[in-house]
Structures are given as structure tokens and as C-alpha cells.
Amino acid sequence: MNKSVSLSNSHKILTLNTLAFTICFACWTMNGVLVTYLVDNNIYNWSIVEAGWLMGVPILTGAITRLPLGILTDKYGGKPVFSSLLILSSLPLFLMYFVDSYWGYFTLSLLFGLVGASFSVGVTYTSAWYPKEWQGRALGIFGMGNAGAAITTLLAPSILNFLSENNQENGWRLLPVIYGVSLLIMGILFITFTKNKIPSQEEKNLQTLLSPLKSTRVWRFGLYYFLVFGLFVAFSQWLLPYYVNVYKTSLVLGGLLVSLFSMPSGLIRAFGGYLSDKFGARKVMYWVLISSLVIGGLLMLPKMDIITPGKGIVAQKATTVRNVTQNTITLDNSKIELVEKPNITPHKGIFPKSYTWQESVVEQNQKINKKELIAQGVTLIQFEANIWVFSILVILLGMVWGIGKAAVYKHIPEYFPGKVGVVGGMVGLIGGLGGFIGPILFGYLLDYSGLWTSSWFFVFVISGISLYWMNSVIRKMLNQESLDLKTKIDYTN
């Protein structure tokens, strides 16, 4: 009976924890929608690089404060830390109503980014309320709060349109206030309905905190999480301006499509934990990294037109050109019909479409030799990078990354059973930096290359490095195990 009551209390805490984390994650990714709206409607003339920085700075704050706030939760419990986090983070959102400069927006974005640390606070607080046999399920459910990013991309564009219907210049200012009110109400609910529980009284000195940094494995896990979580956060914001600029969607349609990337990725995290339990985190990560590499490679292909030489015409013998028109070449004893250039219209199909025609390269009364080119062939290949094919690949990638998030955190207790909190916080910090670096780097890549698909090249590279590193380590381990077994057999004989 007591166990049932205890689990009932645990489930209540988990529900409030997950709800609070969902709201925090929605706020954390707010700039992806709001900055895109402000730039798209010429309210502020920010460059793509400046916009990338504004999307990235909240993620930076959330990433670097994860570890210290996780330690505070260990020491003082989740109720005071989480409720303080919710209430304090609402203040810069209220102040955004008055902001009127880039650096003012930048500073307040840096401050409200503190909500990103809610992950480490919530993980520690949730863990304190559940026995070992419930930990995986509870943390998997809590991690579904990542879907908060989808709430922002799904609802915020429509809210912005409504708020700006009669006041486009300043109506947007109410959106951060709405987010601030949500955090404040959640903070009050947390104070009112939760109970505090301190997970551990173990003293953690600086040397203990920094000791995991000596292990290369921590940095390898951090790279995995940089990919599957950090770049998930980055694209949760970057995809909206991507859709608006590349596919000319409205803010609302773009937000809907981005939510189809964010929502499944958050919800499938619990399933990723199940797969990691059943098949092992290593096998799941192999599948995740290979899938990320392949999908990233496919998404690198830009919307493009390729012009290449086609089938031309050469003279069969030495002769003289008597007349040249757009579609014919008349020689001494023959008349050659050229393939006419077709009417080329914008291509909307899924597969590439090609057009071929011929153009004269000779002039009237010109003498030509045998085998000399008299008409060059031209082939135009149009590749649309169809929006629905693109969207399906993006959704699949989001789901793959969602499974990968759970697989990374499954690794940690297996290799660092006594330092889950510290290692998990460090891996989370490294992963969170991906969300900060991503939009900024994407902006610079776009500015340098002129290709929106350059962001997927970065995904491809990080996936390849992660896969190579993992494969090298596993092969080394297997070779060592084989050598140890051979040594043991030789010793026995």
C-alpha cells in the first residue's frame, strides 16, 4: 500500500516535471519563430548571420548552466531550484516587450535561455522520486518534453499573425509576454503542488566534478549528443527560415512542417530507451549514426539547374555553310535540322527532369573541315528538391535523432555507474552547445556558400566523424578482447 502511495506521489511529480520541461523547451526555441517573423516582415533589418546568433544565444545559456544547476538540485532538491528557474526566467521575457535594438534583444535572449537548464534539473529531480526499476521509463517520459519545440513552431506563427493583425509593428511584443506568463504560472504551480526531495547528500568537490573530463569516452558521448540533441535543437529553429526562404511557405505552414520534425523526435525518445534496453545502446547508436549519415547526404542536394554538354553534330566531310537559322544549318549538299530548344517551365516533380536541344556554332559562308563541330548539344537538368520529399527526410532524421538521444544516455550508467549525474550533465552541456553553435554556423555557411543546404553538409560531416570514431573504438575493443582470449588459451595450454 505504501509503495502504491509512493509511486502515486512520484507520478504526480513526474507529470508536473514533464509539463514544466515542455513549457521551458517551448520558450527555449522561441527565437526560431520570432526572429524569422521579425526579419521576414522587415520589422528589423537583421542579416542571416545576426539572426543565427539570436537563435543560438538562448541555447548557449541553457547549455552552460546545465551542470551547475544539476549540482544545485543534488544539494537542495528539485522544488526550490526548478520553481526559482521558472520564475526568474519569466522576467527577461516580460522585458522583451520594451526591447527596441539588436543588442537589447540579444541580452534578453541570453537571459531567458536559462530555461534550457531545466533538463538537468528535471532529470535529477525525477530520478530522486523513482526506484531503480522505474528510472528508465520515468526519464523516458520526462524526455518527451523535447516536444515543446513543436508547440512553439506549431502555435507561435498563428499567434503572431493574430497579435499583429491590427498592429504589425508592435503586436509581436505580446508573444514573449505570453511565454513569460506561462513560466510564471508553472512556477507557482510547482511551489504549490510539489514536494521537495534531495537525491543525494554526497559532497562533490571540484576535483570530483572535473575528473570525468579525463576520459575520452565522455567526449565521444558528448559528440554523439552534440549531433542527436544539439543539432535537433538547432534545426528546430533553423528549419523555419529554411522553409520560408527555400520553399516560399507562409510562416504558419513552415511552422507546421517544423513541428512535424520536432514533435515525433521528442515523443519517440521513450521508444529509443526501449530499443536500447532490448538490443543494447551500442547497436542502436550504430543504426542512428548510419541513418543520420545517409539522410544528411540526401538532404545536401540543393534545388538546382545543371547545364551540361549534350549530343552535338559534326560535319561528315569538308564543306561550306550556306545558311544558318535558329533551327537549321544548310551546307553545300545537305540541310541539317537542329533539335529545337523546348519551352522550359519551373519543374515541380519529385524526380529530376531534363531538357535537350542543339545550338549552331558556325556562321554563314564559313568553311568547315571533316569531323568539325557545327552544332553543340545542350542538356539542362532541373532538380526541384521537392518540399514533400524534403519534409519526409527531415521527419525521419528527427525520429532517428530522438532514438539516438535515449541511446546516448543509456551508455552513461553502463560506463560511469557512480557518476551518472556529473557525466550526464557534462554530456548534456556538450550536446547543448550544438544547439548554440548550429544556427550561428549555418548562418555563416549560408553567407559564404549561398546554399541553404550547406547546413546539411555539416550534419553529414558530424555524422561521419561520429561513426568513424565509434567504429574505431569498437574495433579496437574487439581486437583487444580477441588478443586477451588468445593469451588465455595459450596460457591454459
Place of cell 554538354: 309
pTM here?
Answer: 0.76
Percent helix, strand and coil across the chain, each to the nearest 5: 70, 10, 20
Q: Name the CATH superfamily for 2-301+387-482.
A: MFS general substrate transporter like domains (1.20.1250.20)
Residue type at position 197? K
Beta-bridged to residue 304, according to DSSP, are 383
Q: What counts of helices (H) and strands (E) characterise the chain?
A: 19, 7
Phi, psi of 280, rounded to the nearest 5 degrees: 100, 140
**Distance between CA atoms of residues 190 and 13, nearest Å:** 9
Do the strands 319-324 and 328-331 form a parallel or antiparallel pair, or are they unpaired? Answer: antiparallel
Q: What is the pLDDT of residues 207-249, one digit of tens each?
A: 665 566 677 888 888 899 999 989 998 998 899 899 988 888 8
- Domain 304-383 grouped into CATH 3.30.1330: no
Place of cell 528589423: 44
**Distance between CA atoms of residues 452 and 235, nearest Å:** 12
Q: What is the pLDDT of residues 322-331, one digit of tens each?
A: 888 888 988 8
pLDDT attached to residue 1? 40
**Among candidate residues 384, 379, 377, 398, the one with its CA nearest the CA of residue 296:** 398
- The DSSP secondary structure of 137-203, one letter per residue, reads HHHHHHHGGGGHHHHHHHHHHHHHHHHTSS-TTTGGGHHHHHHHHHHHHHHHHHHHH----------
Q: What is the largest CA-CA distance in the chain?
A: 106
**Distance between CA atoms of residues 350 and 372, nearest Å:** 39
Provide the mean pLDDT of the chain: 84
Q: What is the pLDDT of residues 435-480, one digit of tens each?
A: 888 888 998 999 898 888 899 999 999 999 999 999 888 888 777 7
pLDDT attached to residue 316? 86
The domain limits of the chain are: 2-301+387-482, 304-383
pLDDT attached to residue 98? 93
pLDDT attached to residue 485? 55
- Tell me if domain 2-301+387-482 and domain 304-383 are identical in fold: no
pLDDT attached to residue 73? 82
pLDDT attached to residue 487? 55
